[in-house]
Amino acid sequence: MKRLKIKGIEKEFHIESGNVYDIQIESNIFYHQLVLGLINEDSDMFSLSENFNPLDFQKECLFISDILTISPNNKKILNALYKRIQEKFLTNENKELLLNINEKFLSLLEQISLDVNLETDYLTDISINDVLSLYKFSFKEGEEDFLNKIITYIKANQEIKKLSTIITLNFLPLLKENEILLLQKELELLNLTMINFNIRVKHQIKGIEYLTIDMDLCEF
């Protein structure tokens, strides 16, 4: 069982792997402080532990501040993926394979150079990173629905680090009830916990005109 401690909150939250937790905050000032603490990875503001052992936020937590703009193929994820592949790839057998590929590329470049009037120059050695970049090795992104894009993004991050907890902001209201159930089932299979923070509006503010679009997309 994990324990979640938030600065300023006396209660310690007990959370289980595979569950989704929605924490609603009524104080906009406190919500602002919490979000800044998450962005800055402030362990004083927000801390997680398991069996009384502190969890490393950077290594084991994934904080998604903007759920609508995420991609499993952002630069940070791909760089980490390429690094992991390079570490695992460099066996003697694979080194020889890469050497053979490099020789074929050099032969091709030599043939191309013969048709160029000026003296040419090019790299004479390639790394596995060069091959991955050349062929745009990445996670497949199809025409998925919103929930599957989120799950793909989570799985991509799980490929590059040991995740235990996903933290989101105002995410669950974007999902239908059946999608939340599907998400919970997927997180259970991945042995992950999700904590979603919501800012809760208690009352309408004078001077602001409130409009509502209902489930039938009608405004009133």
CA atoms of 144 and 200, how far apart (whole Å): 30
pTM of structure:
0.84
Q: What number is the average pLDDT over the span 127-144?
A: 87
Using alpha carbons, list the distances in angstroms from residue 92 to 83, 96, 98, 159. 18, 6, 10, 24
Note whether 66 and 13 are same-domain residues: yes
Q: Are the C-beta atoms of 49 and 154 separated by less than 8 Å? A: no
49 and 82 part of one domain: no
Residues 148 and 176: beta-carbon distance below 8 Å: no
With a cut of 60, say whether residue 83 has pLDDT above it: yes
Q: Residue 2 corresponds to which amino acid?
A: K
68 and 162 in one domain? Answer: yes
pLDDT mean across residues, the chain:
86
Residue 148 lies in a domain: no
Check whether residue 46 and residue 92 sit in a common domain.
no
- Is residue 144 included in any domain, yes or no? no
Q: Assess if residue 211 is contained within a domain.
A: no
Q: What is the distance of C-alpha 133 from the center of its chain? A: 21
Are 85 and 31 members of one domain?
no
Length of the chain: 220
DSSP 120: -
- Average pLDDT of span 199-215: 64
d(CA 63, CA 195): 10
Alpha-carbon Rg of the chain, whole angstroms? Answer: 24
Average pLDDT over residues 1-19: 86
Name residue 4's beta-bridge partners.
13, 48
The pLDDT assigned to 12 comes to 86
3-state helix, strand, coil in the chain (%, to 5): 45, 20, 40
140 belongs to a structural domain? no
Q: Answer yes or no: are the C-beta atoms of 152 and 120 closer than 8 Å.
A: no
Same-domain pairing of 6 and 66? yes
Same domain for 6 and 68, yes or no, is yes
Question: Which DSSP string corresponds to 136-167?
Answer: T------S--HHHHHHHHHHHHHHHS---EEE
The answer to whether residue 51 sits within a structural domain is: yes
- In this predicted structure, the answer to whether residue 216 has a pLDDT above a threshold of 80 is no
pLDDT band at 210 (very low <50, low <70, confident <90, very high): low
Quote the pLDDT of residue 182. Answer: 93
- Asked, for residue 106, whether it belongs to a domain, the answer is yes
Model pLDDT, residue 217? 44
Domain containing 188: what range?
Answer: 2-72+158-199
Q: Is the pLDDT of residue 41 over 80?
A: yes
127 and 29 together in one domain: no
Residue 113 lies in a domain: yes
* DSSP per residue, 46-100: EEEEETTEEP-HHHHEEEES-GGG--TT-HHHHHHHHHHHHHHH-SHHHHHHHHH
Coil vs helix vs strand at 102:
helix
Distance in angstroms (rounded) separating the CA atoms of residues 139 and 130: 17
Q: Are residues 67 and 82 in the same domain?
A: no
Q: How many domains does the chain have?
A: 2
Examine the pLDDT at 22 and tell me if it is beyond 70. yes
Q: Would you say residue 31 lies in a domain?
A: yes
User: What mean pLDDT comes out for the span 81-107?
Assistant: 87
Identify the pLDDT of residue 219.
53
Can you give the CATH number for the domain in which 8 is found? 3.40.50.11940
Q: Are residues 164 and 105 in the same domain?
A: no
For residues 67 and 109, state if they share a domain. Answer: no
CA dihedral (2, 14, 194, 42) positive or negative: negative
Examine the domain organization and report whether 18 and 63 are in the same domain: yes
